Amino acid sequence: MKPAPFRYCAPETVDEALELLATGDPEDEVKLLAGGQSLVPAMNFRLARPGLLIDLNRIAELASIATRDDAEGSILRLGAMVRQSAAEHSPDVARLAPLMGEALPSVAHTQIRNRGTVGGSLAHADPAAELPAVMLALDARMHLRSVRGERAVDAGDFFLGLFETALEPDEMLTAIEIDAASAVEGSCFEEVSRRRGDYALAGAAARVRLDADGTCRFARLTFLSVADLPVRALEAEQMLLGERPHDELLRAVAEHAARREIDPGSDIHASSAFRRHLAAGLARRTLATAVSRATAAHGATDHGGASS
Ligand SMILES: Cc1cc2nc3c(=O)[nH]c(=O)nc-3n(C[C@H](O)[C@H](O)[C@H](O)COP(=O)(O)OP(=O)(O)OC[C@H]3O[C@@H](n4cnc5c(N)ncnc54)[C@H](O)[C@@H]3O)c2cc1C
């Protein structure tokens, strides 16, 4: 199918794009075009019929990966138009946000990641997408701009529901900021999909920080594809704090998260019960790997590696 007729602009600066976005009226929906990997198919099926398409692909300032240091440590800043494949192969992402680096190869296929952007995936807010759940686990901050000004929204407040975010119609996601992973942190991402590159039936992201004696001081556990939005398992995280994680505890934590903290729906791809079963297994495995990586990281720092 072909899309319904639309007008097209390709601004070269964020300010220009924001001016165009602000001119939108409800009768003539304005849409930002990033990698087009979700928007263009939706337009071709006429599920989306924007009157004006604002192409962000010529805006160089949105496409960079940068790092900076502040009093708390290093911060990774990804422009919204950073291609998923550029983030996947970025040494800065691998070093400062290894969880993201581990998850990116699971996003669709190489060809789609070569066009698809980090910001496009987050703004699209597909509950089966990897990056929203990863950003939730990373406590990422979304930077939003409009002609009215700029604001930062925590990932936990950004995803509101099925394809729904905190973005106002005149706002653009310009950048995502992530605090660098601690040198003594372990993280892990895993998902289950029918074929490699398919959207996941369920997925989990875990982060763990341990004291030198193995006591857990920080934990994050998030899920994708088990609700209308990415889910953080807050109670499961609490169960880990102050404990020295062992197999039995991790199994109990994972079961709690899957039984009490998510309520997955059934669809043609998987039943609710099967998604719950997957979530429990994925939570246990990602937490166990995160714990073993955190333990190994302690070994490395004890032997003269990086410090926390
Ligand atoms: C066959 C296929 C398989 C796929 N499998 C997966 C998968 O397994 N996992 C996965 O996560 N994704 C998957 N995708 C989706 C892919 O990751 C897309 O790249 C992503 O969903 C959207 O990114 P995009 O840059 O292409 O955005 P676009 O399609 O250009 O835009 C998506 C939406 O976000 C809005 N938008 C884009 N950028 C901004 C911005 N900066 N500010 C505000 N709004 C913005 C657009 O207006 C549009 O509404 C798949 C896609 C295809 C075609």
Q: Are strands 172-179 and 73-79 parallel, antiparallel or unpaired?
A: antiparallel
Q: Are 125 and 157 in contact (CB under 8 A)?
A: no
Is ligand 1 within 6 A of the CB of residue 112? yes
Check residue 182 and give its pLDDT: 87
Can you tell me the mean pLDDT for 41-59?
96
pLDDT on residue 174: 98
Q: How confident is the model at residue 301 (pLDDT cuts 50, 70, 90)?
A: low
Residue 82 has pLDDT above 60, yes or no: yes
pLDDT at residue 300 in the model = 72
| Ligand 1 centre distance from Cα of residue 39 (Å) | 7
* C-alpha separations of 250 from 230, 239, 244, 292 in Å: 21, 9, 10, 12
8-19 average pLDDT score: 97
Asked if the model's pLDDT at residue 94 lies above 90, the reply is: yes
**Does ligand 1 lie within 6 Å of residue 176's CB atom?**
no
State whether the beta carbon of 121 lies less than 6 angstroms from ligand 1: yes
To test the ligand 1 pocket, which listed residue (31, 32, 82) has its Cβ within 8 A of the most ligand atoms? 32
Domains identified in the chain and CATH numbers:
7-55 (3.30.43.10), 61-179 (3.30.465.10), 185-302 (3.30.390.50)
Give the ligand 1 atom nearest the CA of 33.
Answer: 30
Q: CA dihedral in degrees (226, 104, 62, 132; nearest 10)?
A: 10
Q: Is 259 helix (H, G, I), strand (E, B) or coil?
A: helix
Instruction: Find the mean pLDDT for residues 117-130.
Output: 98
Distance 123 CA to ligand 1 centre (A): 8
Q: Look at residue 304 and tell me whether its pLDDT is greater than 80.
A: no
Q: Is the CB of 173 under 6 A from ligand 1?
A: yes
Rounded mean pLDDT of 237-242? Answer: 98
Q: Is 187 helix (H, G, I), strand (E, B) or coil?
A: strand
Give the three-class secondary structure for 21.
Answer: helix
CB 272 within 8 A of CB 201: no
What are 52's two structure tokens? Answer: 């004006």
Name the percent of the chain lying above pLDDT 90: 90
Atom of ligand 1 nearest to the CA of 173: 42
The pTM (predicted TM-score) of the whole model is 0.95
181 lines ligand 1 (CB under 6 A): no
How far, in Å, is the centroid of ligand 1 from the Cα of 35? 7
How high is the pLDDT of residue 303? 57
Measured by CA distance, the residue closest to atom 21 of ligand 1 is: 121
Check if 234 has its Cβ closer than 6 Å to any atom of ligand 1. Answer: no
What's the pLDDT tens digit per position in 217-229? 999 999 999 999 9
